[in-house]
Structure 1
């Protein structure tokens, strides 16, 4: 299978053989009936869910063929979602390994959220499918269930002199459109661990004097659950940061928080579930990711295709650009970009350090979030996996080879934990930063823009980049021209640290209204 080759997990250690009778569940992704037209993804029009499934989902005949062929090998197809092209398949470890021509073993890898090592199934090398399924099956995920992504949050050091902000105060700093609160919109959030308690959210939101307490509901993807209170320094920190930032800035929007296992299978299942949900969300916030090189090609491809579905349905996907500077934590001294932020179908969200008056919103200075590696820095750079999108060609993205790559990030907001967000996590009040806070900030802004415009924005990047040229500020943004994330420096216009800049939400709304009437 093209793109299925998997290398050994970084820092993994063998943990012995895998019992051949162990139950294994995988996600098989089927081909589309037809490619989604580019203009449907990037244009202002959206498509109803049923029509997207009918024209561009999986063919029922392919699903039946999958059931028949795998059934002969002892592998069962227990569920098929034609709209998202996903089939759930189950079998024993021996049956699954034989069906897809691989070897499964046990291994242990570090927990990306800082907990104890995670024991998981492990495979190396490519997968194969039976000849009848060649070209029909485009990905098989979940045989190897190593931890895939890490949360993009950073905590402020105890000795760090800092300014911090209630998330609601940033509506003044970034001029969110007055008279809007996200009412009538759904804001979806992806979480790969941790959880929240409703009573704690009520306490937090009540302390912000919001006009209403945001509605937040947990959605389980597969066997994953909302499990709060285990570790305020772990995944709970990202979960509560995301929900509290989104709720403070778009209190009228209804939040749906999708909990999935932290695997490539869990990631695509969560994104697909959120994108194809009813009602269709106005925005999807993703604060988890990993360097492009740590994903298989097939996983990147099918997640990117799920994000393309989101664009066609009118969902704006906001993804954190990473917290480890231009190297994205790879450690080889070279620049790397974080996925899914590097997908051209995601609005990549970078980070700044903000010095502003929390009470008035007056900005004294805002620069790139960067500095010592241990303190974190905004991700950003040029993708090695995705080509330069047409809407980014005039922005001045540096070439990293031939063909040129997609520039990251697109936009920014405050992320430095030294000037971070005041949040409540598992009963502890603390200050947290990271680009994982910028994704829900932008998702909240999108919900308010959609409310004001009365229509979905979907893939907003072509609109944001309209007229973008090197050295010039794009309307709807305040440029960031000071600082570095390692390999790249800020400069007027688009840059690989902060993208087009930080938002001026009111000006951005005016610009979007004008473009709609051209």
Structure 2
């Protein structure tokens, strides 16, 4: 991802490398220039007016006081915090003079989208754009374009408060936070059952939304008549799906849902369908959120999986302002946005996205984001082979946008289960696995099996670092609602991005930084105690699904019930969560259950808050009580 940043009158240019399924650090092969007439879409993003005032407003509207839950409309937001008409006009005039056409002016006043031939884009931003062969394990033959050298913004922009320009590359941007049991490919003979003290109807790996409702005490809300009526759930994603898949899933599990409630909305040319695009991700997001709130309406926003697509996606959602809760199960490693690693200005797009999430909170939209599936080592996700350990040094890191202070970051746990496994190469040797209490999700319980299978390390066996994302942001400071909370940690020391194969030192992460801690709250995400889904592309009904991709939409579904109960939007939920933690701890009336066992490979679960599972797991009925008594 490439962005250009202006701070004041000084032009700062930085290449922001996205840690996605496209390797950020492997050299892509240049295969020639883009055609001069190839259409390219770019988005200019403006810095919010009075950004400090916006942060102050979000705090006031999210905490009890005279402004509590007095949210803004999109028009209100534009008038108070959007770019000035003069700034927008100056950028539009320059773009048009260079052969670009305005294709979208977002209602929030923070972005303008342009389109034009590559030759005009190159002229406008003083850049050369070339085609490259993608070092992408998912789509090895798919080329992409990106700047062959660093771009620069014109002096005409220097007084226009431009924060970033996105779209100069169409390289795949974000990765899905879904996984399944196939990632432990060496394992055969999966089997087991839940302990008797868990109230579920199905076996591990075959859970449905009804099981989730029992496990996390959502069922009492249904008995109160709460089904999500009058509430709209938003799904932000990069692939279209078949609404009939979700409807089939709900029918198969015996769930009565509102008919004709799903609307798909293409953003900036989005709408790709297929396995590589992430259709399965979109499907499970709808099935889980819509299953827990069976009468809620669902709006699925689909954008291209590029940096420009991501920003267009969130700009459209907050500008429409039609959804009450929002689920997002994609992300990139924060490491790619750190100035300490990739130079001054590298955080431009991360800051632009964070602004949009601030707007969502100011407008009362509750946003839930998957915290990641690579444990405490987000950048080392095994699904990106060239970023995986031991090619790249182990780096304690977190995911974006889960690290934003303006979202609720959804972490992962493993439910209690017992099973017996064997290695494919030694079928006579059986290793029992037993998890006695809900614990932080990591596949470290397969360590004995990996040794039996002859793997030198858990990474060689393919289980490291799979687990619930969590840790400390190196980019965003600790937010007001986490200040003074016992268990909040600072960034660890001696974390550096080093490519051992190429002997390249990219940079060090700041140690001892008081950063935003992730996650906020967790639920079951382990595929071995995971879920069923219905996806036509995968052959219909499947089992063994997992990842924090399931937790974010589940929390969004619960929040839809909370919205119905209070007859109002709730906005950023985190201040309520941390206030409830301070007020009740883990007493019998607490809306949380503490998770004190396990780790996410780096961070250990402990009593109270920890960066492995956050506050713990929710008791939905008691959480609603805490919300209703907050004033």
Alignment pair present for 1:197 and 2:309:
no
Match of 1:493 in 2: 608
Alignment pair present for 1:29 and 2:56:
no
With 125-134 and 238-247 compared, the bigger mean Cα shift is at 125-134
User: 1:445–1:111: structure 2 CA closer, same or farther, 3 Å change rule?
Assistant: farther
Match of 1:249 in 2: 292
User: 1:412–1:125: structure 2 CA closer, same or farther, 3 Å change rule?
Assistant: farther
Q: Distance in 2 between matches of 1:184 and 1:515?
A: 22
| Residue 292 of structure 1, CA deviation | 0.8
Q: CA RMSD in A?
A: 2.4
Aligned length: 505
Q: Distance in 2 between matches of 1:175 and 1:276?
A: 34
Match of 1:377 in 2: 467
With 256-265 and 233-242 compared, the bigger mean Cα shift is at 233-242
Please give the per-residue CA displacement for 1:216-266, whole angstroms capped at 9, x wherever unaligned. Answer: 111100111153xx33x8612211111111111111111111111111111
Secondary structure, aligned partner of 1:325: coil
User: 1:509–1:305: structure 2 CA closer, same or farther, 3 Å change rule?
Assistant: same
Match of 2:556 in 1: 443
With 299-308 and 154-163 compared, the bigger mean Cα shift is at 154-163
Answer whether contact 2:367 2:408 (CA < 8 A) is retained.
Answer: yes
Q: Distance in 1 between matches of 2:624 and 2:415?
A: 23
Alignment pair present for 1:161 and 2:178:
no
Match of 1:224 in 2: 270
Unaligned runs of 5+ in 2: 7-11, 18-23, 63-67, 193-203, 338-345, 381-391, 419-434, 445-457, 492-510
Match of 1:120 in 2: 144
User: 1:184–1:498: structure 2 CA closer, same or farther, 3 Å change rule?
Assistant: same
Secondary structure, aligned partner of 2:170: coil
Please give the per-residue CA displacement for 1:183-218, whole angstroms capped at 9, x wherever unaligned. Answer: 11111011112x322323222111222232462111
Q: Distance in 2 between matches of 1:110 and 1:168?
A: 41
| Residue 85 of structure 1, CA deviation | 1.6
Answer whether contact 1:32 1:59 (CA < 8 A) is retained.
Answer: no
Please give the per-residue CA displacement for 1:449-473, whole angstroms capped at 9, x wherever unaligned. Answer: 1111122110111111116469953
Q: Distance in 1 between matches of 2:269 and 2:396?
A: 36
Secondary structure, aligned partner of 2:156: helix
Match of 1:422 in 2: 532
Please give the per-residue CA displacement for 1:264-304, whole angstroms capped at 9, x wherever unaligned. Answer: 1111111121222253x121100000101234411101110
Secondary structure, aligned partner of 2:145: strand
Answer whether contact 1:4 1:298 (CA < 8 A) is retained.
Answer: no
* 1:438-517 equivalence runs, <5 A: 438-466=551-579, 468=581, 472-473=585-586, 475-516=590-631
Answer whether contact 1:472 1:492 (CA < 8 A) is retained.
Answer: no
| Residue 409 of structure 1, CA deviation | 0.4
| Residue 78 of structure 1, CA deviation | 3.3
* 1:381-396 equivalence runs, <5 A: 381-395=471-485, 396=487
With 122-131 and 292-301 compared, the bigger mean Cα shift is at 122-131
Match of 1:10 in 2: 25
Q: Distance in 2 between matches of 1:98 and 1:226?
A: 30
1:297 pairs with 338, 341, 347, which one?
A: 347
Answer whether contact 2:242 2:283 (CA < 8 A) is retained.
Answer: no
Secondary structure, aligned partner of 1:304: helix
Please give the per-residue CA displacement for 1:298-348, whole angstroms capped at 9, x wherever unaligned. Answer: 110111000000000000110001101111143421101000000001110
Match of 1:367 in 2: 439
Answer whether contact 2:364 2:570 (CA < 8 A) is retained.
Answer: yes
User: 1:156–1:402: structure 2 CA closer, same or farther, 3 Å change rule?
Assistant: closer
* 1:16-95 equivalence runs, <5 A: 16-35=32-51, 36-42=53-59, 43=62, 44-45=68-69, 46-95=71-120
Match of 1:411 in 2: 521
Alignment pair present for 1:334 and 2:395:
yes
Normalized against structure 2, the TM-score is what? 0.76
User: 1:490–1:117: structure 2 CA closer, same or farther, 3 Å change rule?
Assistant: farther
Q: Distance in 2 between matches of 1:468 and 1:16?
A: 57
Q: Distance in 2 between matches of 1:498 and 1:13?
A: 40
Q: Distance in 1 between matches of 2:592 and 2:229?
A: 24
Q: Distance in 2 between matches of 1:253 and 1:218?
A: 15
User: 1:266–1:181: structure 2 CA closer, same or farther, 3 Å change rule?
Assistant: same
Unaligned runs of 5+ in 1: 358-362
Match of 1:360 in 2: none
Alignment pair present for 1:434 and 2:547:
yes
Normalized against structure 1, the TM-score is what? 0.92
Q: Distance in 2 between matches of 1:98 and 1:172?
A: 59
| Residue 60 of structure 1, CA deviation | 2.0
Match of 1:314 in 2: 364
Secondary structure, aligned partner of 1:243: helix
Q: Distance in 2 between matches of 1:489 and 1:471?
A: 23
Answer whether contact 2:378 2:396 (CA < 8 A) is retained.
Answer: yes
Q: Distance in 2 between matches of 1:182 and 1:4?
A: 46
Q: Which has the larger radius of gyration?
A: 2
